[in-house]
Amino acid sequence: MANIKELSKQKELFTGGHRACAGCGAAIVARQVLAVAGPNTVVVSATGCLEVVSTIFPYTAWNVPFLHSAFENAAATISGVEALYKSWVRQGKYDKKLNFIAFGGDGGTYDIGLQSLSGAMERGHNILYVCYNNEAYMNTGVQRSGATPKGADTTTAPVGKVKKGKEQYRKNLTEIMVAHGIPYVAQAVVGNWRDLASKVEKALSIEGPKFINVFQPCRLGWSYKPELTCELGRLAVETCTWPLYEVVDGIYKITYKPKEKKAVSEWLNMQGRFRHLAKPENKPIVDDIQAQTDKFWENLLKKESVV
């Protein structure tokens, strides 16, 4: 189990001094994941916010071997690195245990990189893929992605007289990963470090492909005060907008259950991208989001009860 005192003693493997926005959740994700993984780790990152702010030549925020991959193929790249490592081990050229971790935003994971991710999971590479999910293409101008929720205002699904933001529900990528039959899949969130650290620790102890979908508030695209990043993450869990759970060899386990589930509107009202939903005429959209949230949570509870 992750211990904050022990983690605080670790060498910083993702350093300060990068160019991320104040309150950026992606930097928090990278720092916490690497604190658990330790120095014997190879990282591949897809093009996106995390890569851009952390590797501006000639500087880097990474104190581990790092490889920048294209937008669409981080999973394929880390697969190749892992395959080379296994070859060296078989040949007796290398005997140190290594962790292989790929980071990708929702754009490079849900959409552009889905084929690469699916292939890596199906082939069974011993890798951990971490999606830092800020629910849009934030690095290129806040365009909607497959992870963008219904009702969100983005530059390619804007709020206007006819349409009130994105009209579709977000893609359920976590369940798509479960459908691959891999040994470990989980959802985590910025704002609950212990849950995230414990899931990374568990994932790295398992042989085979692993996937963790980390919900990561973005103060730029979501439009909120930067000091509220972790609070927004925790509120997403309390409203069941983003439940915390893991699936180990097909068995579901909810890792946090709110004592009293809060209304989704509490979470929506803290973000500028949903400000239009506060208008009375848009209440049906809020009601629909609440209904879908309740439905997913109820189904998740049923899945957990099946052993």
pLDDT at 1: 63
Q: What is the pLDDT of residue 307?
A: 64
Place domain 4-305 in its CATH homologous superfamily: Thiamin diphosphate (ThDP)-binding fold, Pyr/PP domains (3.40.50.970)
Question: Torsion-angle region of residue 38: left (phi > 0), alpha (psi -120 to 50) or beta?
Answer: left
Q: Give residue limits of the domains in the chain.
A: 4-305
pLDDT digits (tens, 9 = 90+) for 195-217: 999 999 999 999 999 999 999 99
Per-residue pLDDT, 259: 96
- Report residues of the chain scoring pLDDT below 70: 1-2, 307
Helix (H, G, I), strand (E, B) or coil at 188: strand
Residue whose entry in the numeric block shows the structure tokens 């709020």: 159
Q: What is the β-pairing status of strands 244-248 and 251-256? A: antiparallel
Q: Residue 5 has what pLDDT? A: 76
Nearest Cα residue to 292 out of 134, 162, 150: 150
Please choose, from the candidates 121, 128, 132, the residue with its C-alpha nearest in 3D space to the C-alpha of residue 205: 128
Residue located via tokens 């904050």: 4
Q: CA quadruple 23, 26, 31, 33: dihedral positive or negative? A: positive
Residue 100 is classified by DSSP as: E
Edge-to-edge strands, sheet with 251-256: 66-68, 41-45, 99-105, 128-133, 210-215, 184-189, 244-248, 251-256
Check: CB of residue 105 under 8 Å from CB of residue 50: yes
Q: Are 101 and 130 in contact (CB under 8 A)?
A: yes
Q: Give the model's pLDDT for residue 10.
A: 80
Confidence (pLDDT) at 4:
74
pLDDT at 306: 78
Q: What are the counts of helices (DSSP H) followed by strands (DSSP E) for the chain?
A: 12, 8
Classify residue 89 as exposed, middle or buried by CB count within 10 Å of its CB (0-12, 13-18, 19+): middle
